[in-house]
Chain A
Amino acid sequence: MNLLVLYLLLLKATVTSFSGLTSLPVIHHDLVVERRVLTDRELNAAVAAGRAGPGPYGLYVVSVGYFVAGVPGAFMGLLALMTPAFLIIPMARYVGSKANQPRIRSAIEGVLAAAAGLLVASTLPLARESVTGAFSGAVALASFVLLTATRVDIGWVMLGAAAAGLLAAAL
């Protein structure tokens, strides 16, 4: 895939999201469903790789870029991740307090609620590939519960899941 096209597709996903993983439905739609340059399992692995280390959420687009076009693709992902951040400067300069207007905040809340629904919808095809039995089901459930009901750091959740998987394979 052409690197510029990849950058623009990833940018389309990042610039229309307001929070880490909410760019995922657009990426799933464009790269997995429409263009078929990425598989569900690769997208799932990208999300795991993006969270296996430190740094901001949303880093998984770097991994998505790598799966599609190797290291140059990963740099397109990195660029697509960074580009929208600079929009804040004109906003700080000209818009300032307008961004805090109730109707704008309310519209953004609408986008976030819709993004949450989309995120669940596009997690389903990924789950079909990787949550296939009692063990993976238990890991997915444990991960969900730990990340919603406790304040445990996500790094520990990922480490625990890897260790559990290793152990299950060894036994």
Chain B
Amino acid sequence: MTVYLPIAELSVNIFIILGMGAAVGFLSGMFGVGGGFLITPLLIFYNIPPVVAVATGANQVVASSVSGAITHFRRGTLDIKLGTVLLVGGLLGATAGIWVFSWLRSIGQLDLIIAILYVLLLGTVGTLMLNESVRALRRAARQEQVTLKRPGHHSWVHRLPFKMRFKKSKIYLSAIPVVALGFAIGVLTSVMGVGGGFIMVPAMIYLLRIPTNVVVGTSLFQIIFVTAYTTMVQAATNYSVDIVLATILMVAGVIGAQYGVRVGQKLRGEQLRALLALLVLAVALRLAVTLVVTPADLYSVSIGAF
């Protein structure tokens, strides 16, 4: 059964889109990630124009982050104040990102930059994660004690001015690195269509030393607002959010996520991380191949004078 996507302007098989949404939802539930970094490249592989894939990906992340954020809010593992400071940076970053996005589109380099960013980001994160999880797996096999290294409680990050007290997180931290992190994630949201949790969570833990228990909830809080904002701005400036595509993906995604969570609870943390790392690397590799393989046609046509 085919369905016509009005914004992407092409007909697709609804079952492929449903399957894609369910699979990414399942993985996002299993690994506790938003899934934007998987859905956007998958849509591009399925010939959805990258402009539409990125904007629709951001919209899909809103849905996949909501239920998680609600859960964390109920449990009290969400630092609203910290999240708001992150959000200020995030909204600024998303605005800057949209501007960059439109500019890249106008000079015809958007598809290339999206692919390069995905290769770099997924390649780096995937390698780091695989490295870390393999070491953890070896340690577990040798029955060693896990020792979390905490070198010097006061890094350069903690010497910055404009300190704020975040009661829920029980930390006293400069607003500068928080806003900067939010900004960077905001740019990624609008340029790549990702929530950015897979970068924000490690950065909050290792760089800002925010207690692990509030990290996920707080990052989800920021992600919901930044992705919602990005969806609106993409809709208003690039007209590139495909509501039909987004709805199919979201419905399949949230259902898939519920089953993913159940499977995830049965697997060990380091096993999960190793699997996720392999998946991330596979997507990066697939995108890298498209960058270097000689295209079937060197020419392309687009409507309008860009």
Are A and B associated in one complex? no
List the interface of chain B (C-beta within 8 A of A): none
List the interface of chain A (C-beta within 8 A of B): none
